[in-house]
Amino acid sequence: MTAASRWAGLAALLALWQGLALAGDGWLLAGPVQVAEWLWSNPGPTGRATAATLGNAAWGFLLGNGAAIGLAGIAALWPRALTLVAGLALVVFCLPLIATGPILRVLMGPGDGPQIVLAALAVYYTTLIPLLAGLRAMPQAWLDLVQSYGRGRWAELVHVRARAALPYLLAGLQISAPAAILGAMVGEFTGAERGLGVLTIRFTRDLDVPALWAAATLAAGLSMAVYAGIGWLGRRALSDPPPVILAAPRPVRGSPARKAAQAALLIGVVLVLWWAAVAGLNPFFARRPPDVAAALLWAPDAAATRATLGAAVAQTAGLALPGYAAGLALGAGLAVLLTLRPGLAAVTVPLAVALRSIPIVTTAPLVVLLLGRGATGTLTLVALMVFFPAFVACQQGLAQAPGPILDLFRSHASGPLRQMLHVRIPAMLPALFASARMTVPAAILAATVIEWLATGQGLGNLMALSASVSDYDMLWLTMVAATLLSALLYWAVAWAEGRVLAVMATEQVRP
């Protein structure tokens, strides 16, 4: 796609945006002209809020990606620790930001600490997964050469693996950049004094549509600028663009007893870390694992607690799962469409990047204004969160179709559609499943955020109510429930991935 076509696509999107705003008479949608006028008239508050959010996001970006690099290095130096490292990383990534935020606010008090921590939590996993793939993306002969000189794993990591992983690291940094803005704004929702998240809450309460769209535009602009900047650095540092690679899960090898022991070890480490993290803190708000278990199982009101929590989980899952499936289908469908009709990329790709770059905490109020507080708004928001990673991954997967096989189909006069059905889509499936695993926490996050802000139901609403009345038993329970829901769905997708890809491999070798 040329620079001229990109600018033409952007101009078409702006014109469409302004046209829709005029058609709606500015009641639900403020166009780019109204947004520009509002920003011009309010430079002080928006400038200070933008600087606060960008600073917190930058610190979180550095800390989260530093943690990802450290964890990947540990896995490369001690391969036996890979299962434990990956499992812990997944559990932490599945923690719902909007439930973690109030707890961090109580633990850390006023200031920027919760925003920075949430930004770090939002970014590290999306860098860790490509980086783990990159650390394995080199010929075995290179490692054999290092070992032939009597050097160990540290030399392999520094001289071979790190260089091979650089493109994957840059790809992970680019993908995670918008997530840092999201994490910082979620932290600002929990009682911060400044930032774009604070302005978003204020504008939502006031139903100030131009101001709300201005905040969304600023957040999107920040995300897109960082996204583009890291991409520019990648093109400067590397001869080829960074590949967007999402690693397939490694199968857990060994007997059922060994697998059970690994799972028990992971659960034990999680509980120990939980207990260590709250040790010495006031148990009124810093609940320990036994406190949470008691509230759920044997406290006098445990039955009522289970009923309330179960109903909230069912409501969230009932909306998150269809939206999640719709987002995957939309992302894969658009990738297929652009492969068949590349000319549409000038308009659709900028729109896709814009949708990914606008943080959910600003899109949630807008979606509610446009679609109402019912199921439609929640489904739409979840689908938007899942759509872009699936789209990017599926585009990459479609490009991996073997050239000789495509040439064979062309030699038999097979058209693009038949090539798509029999070659490109099978080649895309690993990338589609990888994106499906990666977007599970995003789907749960999207559902809980819109419940927190607007719909008045589900886990998100229960989190908001629990935080507002200092019911920390229920708040910790909602966090555990959302984490388990995300983890179970992740492992279900990974199981389906293994089964489907195994069947495909069998079909490919069958005579």
CB 443 within 8 A of CB 327: yes
Would residue 6 count as lying in a domain? no
- Report yes or no on 8 lying in a domain: no
Q: What is the pLDDT of residue 150?
A: 67
What digits encode the pLDDT tens for the residues 113-148?
888 888 898 888 888 878 887 777 666 666 666 667
Other beta carbons less than 10 A from residue 509's beta carbon: 6
- The residue behind tokens 């490919």 is 508
Q: In this structure, which long-range contacts are made by residues 295-302, counting pairs with CB atoms below 8 Å and at least 24 apart in sequence?
A: 295/473, 295/474, 295/476, 295/477, 296/477, 299/473
Question: Is position 192 within any domain?
Answer: yes
Phi, psi of 456 (to 5 degrees): 75, 30
Note the pTM of the prediction, 2 decimals: 0.79
* Structural domain count, the chain: 1
- Angle 186-182-207 from CA coordinates, rounded to 5°: 65
What does residue 321 show for φ and ψ, rounded to 5 degrees? -65, -45
Question: Is 317 a domain residue?
Answer: yes
Tell which residue, 13, 47, 346, 65, has the closest CA to residue 222. 47
CATH number at 331 reads 1.10.3720.10
- Residue 302, domain extent: 25-509
Q: Let me know if residue 50 belongs to a domain.
A: yes
56: how many CB neighbours lie within 10 A of its CB? 30
Please report whether residue 18 resides in a domain: no
Residue 388: inside a domain: yes
Do the domain assignments include residue 17?
no
Residue 487 in contact with residue 95, Cβ under 8 Å?
no
Closest of 137, 136, 157 to residue 73, by C-alpha: 157
Name the E strands within 97-184.
none
- pLDDT tens track for 59-113: 999 999 999 898 888 888 887 777 788 788 888 887 777 777 777 877 777 778 8
- Residue 324: CB atoms within 10 A of its CB come to 27
- Alpha-carbon span 224 to 179, nearest angstrom: 11
**Cα-only R_g, the chain:** 23
Task: State CA 243 to chain mean position distance.
Answer: 18
Residue ranges of the chain whose pLDDT lies below 70: 1-6, 9-10, 24-27, 137-147, 149-150, 239-255, 346-347, 349-350, 353-363, 365-366, 368-369, 372, 504-511
Q: What is the pLDDT of residue 510?
A: 45
pLDDT of residue 149: 67
Which pair of structure tokens corresponds to residue 484?
Answer: 């388990």
Residues 6+ apart with CB under 8 A from 336: 394, 398, 420, 424, 425, 428
Residue 353's pLDDT is: 67
